[in-house]
Amino acid sequence: MHSTIVRGQNVFGFFTSVCFFVAALIAASDLLAPRTPKATVSVKDVQVVRGRPHYYSTKKEEYAVIRFSLSADLSSLFTWNTKQVFVYVSASWPNSTLGEDGKGELVNEAVIWDSIITNPSADHLQNIGPAAMKKLVKSSKGKKIDPSRGKLELKNQKAKYQITSPTGKLAETDNVVLKVHYNVQPWVGVLTWTPQIEFGMWKKVKGGVSKVFKFPALKAKKEAEKKKA
């Protein structure tokens, strides 16, 4: 510590250690915040249509077009260390071609809808236009954390993504369920997915799985049958 440069180096060096320690404390403080998410998801409408994966494709595949309703309360996921929460709804069904003895233990799963919910501390990261940004910032003005953003109420929501399977066949698949998943992205610490086990104060999603449904037969076929009849 005898000269200016050495003092600068020492103070800065110790500052980095303090930073690391405080960051570790912040990350650990997440474990003290209970996470008790709830979700109800239900299918409103399913159609299976034939289409091409891209314009020049000669292969036609079957796509499921799903409408669903989602009522979720993820407000407990918003703490001081939450940057944003990624919510997504997936459709999953047993794989009929793979798995031991072809019994279909493996599961196909595809995301049909997703959304990013930012905490007010991370609003500037949201990739939206200036008008929408103004509205978003205004919606929780003066709040450091806004758990009310974790309350989702979607009615008859159209899926963002049309899904298919690797085989290209999807019509008349049975045992399909919709599932709600989330992903908490903290400012400091590890990324956490929907827990599959209860972990301390972190509970599993209450509900979050729809009733079992079936992908209907091809829509085009149905219409053809109607014409015949």
Partner 1 sequence: MADQLLEQVREAAEGQIDFEGQKLAELLATILLCTVGGISFLYGYFLQDIKLALYIGLGGTALTLALIVPPWPFFNTHPVRWLPVGGVEKQQQAMQGIMVDGQLVG
Binding site for partner 1 (CB under 8 A): 1-5, 7-8, 10-12, 14-15, 18-19, 21-22, 25-26, 29, 79-81, 121, 144-145, 187-188
Nearest alpha carbon to residue 95 among 86, 80, 105, 85? 105
Provide the minimum distance between the beta carbon of 158 and partner 1 in the complex, in angstroms, as a whole number: 35
**Which residue's CB is nearer to partner 1, number 129 or number 142?**
142
Provide the minimum distance between the beta carbon of 141 and partner 1 in the complex, in angstroms, as a whole number: 15
Nearest alpha carbon to residue 109 among 41, 212, 178? 178
**Which residue's CB is nearer to partner 1, number 108 or number 121?**
121
**Which residue's CB is nearer to partner 1, number 36 or number 96?**
36
Residues 6+ positions from 83 with CB-CB distance below 8 Å: 118, 119, 121, 122, 125, 185, 186, 187
Provide the minimum distance between the beta carbon of 135 and partner 1 in the complex, in angstroms, as a whole number: 21
Provide the minimum distance between the beta carbon of 83 and partner 1 in the complex, in angstroms, as a whole number: 9
**Which residue's CB is nearer to partner 1, number 8 or number 166?**
8
- 47 burial (CB, 10 Å; 0-12 / 13-18 / 19+) is middle
Residues 6+ positions from 104 with CB-CB distance below 8 Å: 94, 95, 96, 97, 98
**Which residue's CB is nearer to partner 1, number 30 or number 73?**
30
Provide the minimum distance between the beta carbon of 119 and partner 1 in the complex, in angstroms, as a whole number: 9
Provide the minimum distance between the beta carbon of 150 and partner 1 in the complex, in angstroms, as a whole number: 15
- Contact in structure between 145 and 117 (CB atoms under 8 Å): no
**Which residue's CB is nearer to partner 1, number 29 or number 36?**
29
**Which residue's CB is nearer to partner 1, number 2 or number 54?**
2
Provide the minimum distance between the beta carbon of 138 and partner 1 in the complex, in angstroms, as a whole number: 18
